[in-house]
């Protein structure tokens, strides 16, 4: 079956999340998604909260919808690494060590919002992680990723040609939601086949104006369209600022 999912989701288990896992599951079900992969802030969790994350993920999953637990780790070198499928806390450490432990737990390791580090990431980290966010809705633009994010991703891929690209919601509240899916073919809606598809790059990143395969490839026509849209959005934002200034 075809499944559409959203990655890197914060619930109330994170200090800045606004919805419970049950509310998130029902919100995303209503929007036509079949799976969610959580990315709760590790520093907000303790063993009891991790257990809640595991229990609530299971309780809100059935044969039509799957919630995969996941934790976002604030590691050294100013990076955040999201471990999808991770169910045990990992102490703060060097990103390469944390990625190794994510893999030990059968998880999928994503470099979150590389925009925050200017897409400058050391080769040892890029070679350890599975994927980087080619588009984080919170950081790289709500309706389309900025062309800078796409070229930043290409730069990182030069240090690891196998680096996968994921588009993430980094969801905290419904107001910043944008319809952006990870789409894949799965035999059943459960954690293992979904994680396996991610690990094997068997998915596409898709929204209304954007489509990139798991390797971050965007067709030239779409790349051109993306440039036009993001330029128009910049103009609209500038015009709005001017308008507000003159009417204040
Ligand atoms: Zn983060
Ligand atoms: Zn986050």
Give phi and psi for 155, each to the nearest 5.
-60, -45
Ligand closest to 81 (CA) is 1
| pLDDT confidence of residue 226 | 74
pLDDT value at position 175?
Answer: 92
Ligand 2 ion: nearby residues, β-carbon < 5 Å: 72, 170
Number of domain units in the chain: 2
Confidence at residue 206, expressed as pLDDT on a 0 to 100 scale:
96
Q: Which ligand is nearest to the CA of 70?
A: 2
Q: How far is the CA of 247 from the centre of ligand 2 (A)?
A: 36
Q: 1 CA distance to ligand 2 centroid (A)?
A: 29
Same domain, 47 and 163: yes
User: d(Cα 113, Cα 149) in Å, to the nearest integer?
Assistant: 9
CA 127 to centroid of ligand 1, rounded, Å = 20
Instruction: Read off the pLDDT band of 147 (50, 70, 90).
Output: confident
Inter-residue contact 13 to 52 (CB < 8 Å): yes
Domain range enclosing 157? 2-217
Same domain membership, residue 50 and residue 155 = yes
What's the gap in Å between 225 CA and the centre of ligand 2?
A: 28
Q: Which residues contact 202 (CB under 8 A, 6 or more apart)?
A: 184, 185, 214
Residues 146 and 238 in one domain: no
3-state class of 236 per DSSP?
helix
From residue 196, alpha-carbon distances to 135, 142, 187 in Å are 21, 28, 12
- C-alpha of residue 73 to centroid of ligand 2, in Å: 9
Residues 51 and 169 in one domain: yes
Q: Is the pLDDT of residue 232 over 80?
A: no
Q: Are residues 75 and 133 in the same domain?
A: yes
Residue of 91, 76, 90, 89 whose CA lies nearest to 122: 76
* Cα(182) to centroid(ligand 2), Å: 17
pLDDT tens digits for range 14-42? 999 999 999 999 999 999 999 999 999 99
Instruction: Note if the pTM is more than 0.95.
Output: no
Residues 173, 125 share a domain: yes
* CATH number of the CATH domain containing 67: 3.20.20.140
Give distance in angstroms: CA of 113 to centre of ligand 1. Answer: 7
**223 three-state secondary structure:** helix
Same domain, 146 and 248: no
238 CA distance to ligand 2 middle (Å): 28
Q: Are residues 97 and 172 in the same domain?
A: yes
Give dist(CA 99, CA 128) in Å, integer. 7
Q: Are residues 237 and 201 in the same domain?
A: no
Of residues 106, 157, 98, 151, the one with CA closest to residue 132: 157
Please indicate, yes or no, whether residues 224 and 205 belong to a single structural domain of this protein: no
Centre of ligand 2 to C-alpha 7, Å, is: 10
Q: Is it the case that residue 156 has pLDDT exceeding 90?
A: yes
Whether residue 105 is found in the same domain as residue 187: yes
Please provide the DSSP assignment of 123-145 as one string: HHHHHH-SEEEEEEHHHH-SSS-
Same domain, 82 and 177: yes
Closest CA to 66 of 77, 75, 58: 58
Which pLDDT score, from 0 to 100, does residue 248 have?
A: 66
**Whole-angstrom Cα distance, residue 103 to residue 116?**
24
């Amino acid at each position: 079956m075809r499944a559409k999912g959203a990655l890197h989701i914060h619930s109330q288990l994170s200090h800045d999340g606004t919805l419970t896992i049950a509310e998130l599951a029902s919100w995303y079900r209503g929007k036509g998604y079949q799976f969610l992969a959580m990315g709760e802030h590790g520093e907000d969790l303790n063993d009891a909260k991790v257990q809640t994350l595991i229990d609530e993920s299971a309780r809100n999953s059935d044969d039509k919808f799957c919630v995969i637990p996941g934790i976002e780790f604030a590691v050294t070198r100013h990076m955040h690494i999201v471990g999808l499928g991770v169910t045990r806390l990992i102490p703060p450490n060097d990103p390469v060590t944390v990625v190794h432990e994510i893999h030990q737990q059968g998880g999928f390791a994503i470099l979150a919002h590389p925009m925050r580090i200017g897409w400058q990431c050391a080769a040892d980290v890029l070679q350890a992680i599975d994927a980087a966010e080619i588009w984080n809705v919170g950081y790289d633009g709500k309706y389309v990723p900025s062309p800078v994010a796409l070229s930043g991703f290409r730069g990182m891929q030069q240090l690891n040609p196998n680096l996968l690209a994921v588009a993430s919601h980094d969801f905290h509240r419904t107001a910043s939601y944008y319809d952006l899916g990870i789409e894949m073919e799965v035999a059943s809606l459960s954690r293992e086949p979904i994680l396996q598809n991610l690990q094997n790059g068997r998915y596409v990143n898709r929204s209304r104006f954007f489509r990139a395969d798991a390797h971050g490839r965007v067709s030239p026509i779409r790349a051109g369209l993306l440039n036009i849209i993001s330029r128009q959005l910049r103009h609209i934002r500038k015009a709005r600022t001017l308008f507000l200034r003159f009417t204040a």
